[in-house]
Structure 1
Amino acid sequence: MNTSSALSSSTTSWFSSIVRGRSEKMGNPSMSSNANAGGGGVSVARKNHLRGALFKYGPKPAQVAFKTGEFKQQVIFIGGLTEGFLASEYLQPLSIALENEKWSLVQLLLSSSYTGYGTSSLKEDALEIDQLINYFINKEDSEGVVLLGHSTGCQDIVHYMQTNAACSRAVRAAILQAPVSDREYRATLPETAEMIDLASFMMREGREMDLMPREANPDAPITAYRYHSLCAYMGDDDMFSSDLSDDQLKMRLGHMESTPCQVIFSMADEYVPEYVDKKALVERLCRAMGGAEKVEIEWGNHTLSNRVAEAVKAIVDFVKREGPKGILGLFGCCTKSIRSGKDESEYD
């Protein structure tokens, strides 16, 4: 889901946090002592300022991640369309709360981050998520990860878990925050129907990777394939629409039943059309995933910027409860298979 309002603030705040964090560490003794508190290496200077490690997890220029805390367990935040670092208000307090539980918070950039989503795909996102988990397994001896998706990041998680990639076995649990339908939201825009027809025509002609006209998606260049994926009925991104049948939802989401899942749904999400029965929808989504935990945030908006404390509590409670389950034997198998193969040095 497109949250372009977060774009400008995200692109400035993440870099300034790194630059200012370095100067404050050198010139402010109290800040330096905070950085060492708890042994996790996380220091919050002020709102939306975090101290941690910025690193590359893959060969592409965009494949950069930011980690707060030095622990063997990681919660990986996967943002939605147009999002990048510090995409949601709850990430800063979440990093502190996770540090107290000996978990690191990781924010990653994908090739699809910021304005790259229009020329990317869920498939490419899944490959890059796998590279990040591979990095933690082989470079930092990770003991397991929890995937936390916001908006279209939820589609990324669902698609990734369906790939059965080797590193997906290191996923202890998944949290879907604001799993909403891009198609149903886009259907409220006047140009969408005509542009879906154009995208379908271009795909039939074998031009799925050609760009759509600017009016189809003013925020960023977008290919015919990605536009169709986001906007067309049963497109690749169409996983959470209220008009999908129970069988269709089960087909799209049913494989998640083997992973502990939490669905956090904002009951005042501005990207969900008024006609959608939100309570009925979240119930159906959880049922399609084999009984995922349901969390309804009353009056919560799409990013939960107005319900930060509730978001952090729900996430941390779930990580504490579900994170350690069923990981030892499965994760040991995963690390053995990855470390013994060519993947170990692929991203050195």
Structure 2
Amino acid sequence: MNSSLASSSSTLSSSSSSPSSSWFSGFVRTGRSRSLKMSSTSSAAASANTSGPVVRKNQFRGVLFKYGPNPIQVAFKTGDFKRQVIFIGGLTDGFLATQYLEPLAIALDRENWSLVQFLMSSSYTGYGTSSLQQDAKELDQLINYLINKEDSEGVALLGHSTGCQDIVHYMRTNYACTRAVRAAIFQAPVSDREYQATLPHTASMIDLAAKMISEGRGLELMPREADTCAPITAYRYHSLCSYNGDDDMFSSDLSDDQLRMRLGHMSNTHCQVIFSMADEYVPEYVDKKALVERLCRAMGGAEKVEIEYGNHSLSNRVEEAVQAIIDFLKREGPKGWDDPWN
């Protein structure tokens, strides 16, 4: 979800008084002096600090790798386990997208899971010129990499916001690697369309997008006022903002049959829906309890988690979010998993 559709460096100082001495030589001497003075206690602390997926706030320990041919296709994995949770962010998201990722990485590590964050063509400001189809292709490339390069035993997908649409779309494809998806977690599966409908300019922009598409100009960019955060094509704007668009999967005004048509195939996968009961991107007129119940039913009986007072990204309910995810994975995890390729 993107509200914009609406609208330390370090300083190195030198104490050398000689104008001819280089700043680099001073830097090397300083580092050497400090290393010699390091106590055995400090060494032990440093050694102990090398374990675990999180070093300090906003600093993860893990492996950065390329998973596909495009420059943007980079992923980061904590831990070295055979099971991975793949985090799929929403519009404008990239690495470190939500506050619960740090404690989640720590909790997953204790359960012998790795956390994978990845960039794709739609990450950051790329969403406006990408699509669910492109996201699915790149997600499949990531899972393929984990299977063939990391000997993955299976993955769980964790979608945040518009990342939930990516899960639904990917699991509808016939990509071979969908068989490796053992569980799906939907955190904040809300309607982009219903939120955008509350904004004054949306209706006229939808009309313009529809006109451009009918003229064969769906891949051309919309005017700047359509999205002040990123360039967006007529197709993607229409997909996100129009009734029955490709991204229109979680709207409260869809009938039960329409929801089943969009979400029913998820009944073949263990699913959890985590819904924030104070989500700022859900219009006030929406009955959140009724909506989450209908979404879970459309998925064939997904597990429902309602987080009272939780905001869209659950930044104010981090512990509850992590606990819900871990509990679900422990229940629906690999104990009963068979070989997806046999």
Instruction: Tell me which amino acid in the other structure corresponds to 2:50.
Output: A
1:336 paired residue number: none
Q: Unpaired runs of 5+ in structure 2?
A: 10-30
2:341 paired residue number: 332
1:65 paired residue number: 75
Instruction: Tell me which amino acid in the other structure corresponds to 2:278.
Output: A
Equivalent pairs, count = 309
Instruction: Tell me which amino acid in the other structure corresponds to 1:35.
Output: T
Inter-partner Cα distance in structure 1 for 2:218 and 2:335: 42
Inter-partner Cα distance in structure 2 for 1:222 and 1:112: 11
1:284 paired residue number: 294
Tell me the CA shift for residue 332 of structure 1. 3.1
2:319 paired residue number: 309
Inter-partner Cα distance in structure 2 for 1:209 and 1:46: 42
1:98 maps to 2:108: yes
1:2 paired residue number: 2
Q: CA 1:326–1:199 in structure 2 vs 1: closer, same or farther (change >3 Å)?
A: farther
| CA distances 1:180-205 after superposition (whole Å, capped 9, x unpaired) | 00000000111100000000000000
1:233 paired residue number: 243
Tell me the CA shift for residue 320 of structure 1. 1.1
1:293 paired residue number: 303
1:337 paired residue number: none
Q: CA 1:184–1:147 in structure 2 vs 1: closer, same or farther (change >3 Å)?
A: same
| CA distances 1:251-274 after superposition (whole Å, capped 9, x unpaired) | 000000000000000000000000
| CA distances 1:213-250 after superposition (whole Å, capped 9, x unpaired) | 00001110000000000000000000000000000000
SS at match of 1:45: strand
Instruction: Tell me which amino acid in the other structure corresponds to 1:175.
Output: I
Which of residues 159, 181, 184 in structure 2 aligns to 1:149? 159
1:126 maps to 2:128: no
Instruction: Tell me which amino acid in the other structure corresponds to 2:251.
Output: S
Inter-partner Cα distance in structure 1 for 2:216 and 2:58: 44
Aligned 8 A contact 1:72 1:143 in 2 = yes
1:33 maps to 2:48: yes
Q: What's the Cα RMSD here?
A: 1.7
Inter-partner Cα distance in structure 2 for 1:224 and 1:79: 22
1:173 maps to 2:183: yes
Inter-partner Cα distance in structure 2 for 1:325 and 1:205: 53
Inter-partner Cα distance in structure 2 for 1:166 and 1:46: 38
Written as runs of structure 1 = structure 2, the 5 A alignment for 1:235-254 is 235-254=245-264
Instruction: Tell me which amino acid in the other structure corresponds to 1:332.
Output: W
1:80 paired residue number: 90
Instruction: Give the TM-score, by structure 2 length.
Output: 0.88
Inter-partner Cα distance in structure 2 for 1:276 and 1:114: 28
SS at match of 1:172: strand
1:139 paired residue number: 149
Written as runs of structure 1 = structure 2, the 5 A alignment for 1:210-221 is 210-221=220-231
Tell me the CA shift for residue 43 of structure 1. 3.8
| CA distances 1:30-83 after superposition (whole Å, capped 9, x unpaired) | 2442323xxxxx342222221111111001011001111100000000000000
Tell me the CA shift for residue 3 of structure 1. 6.0
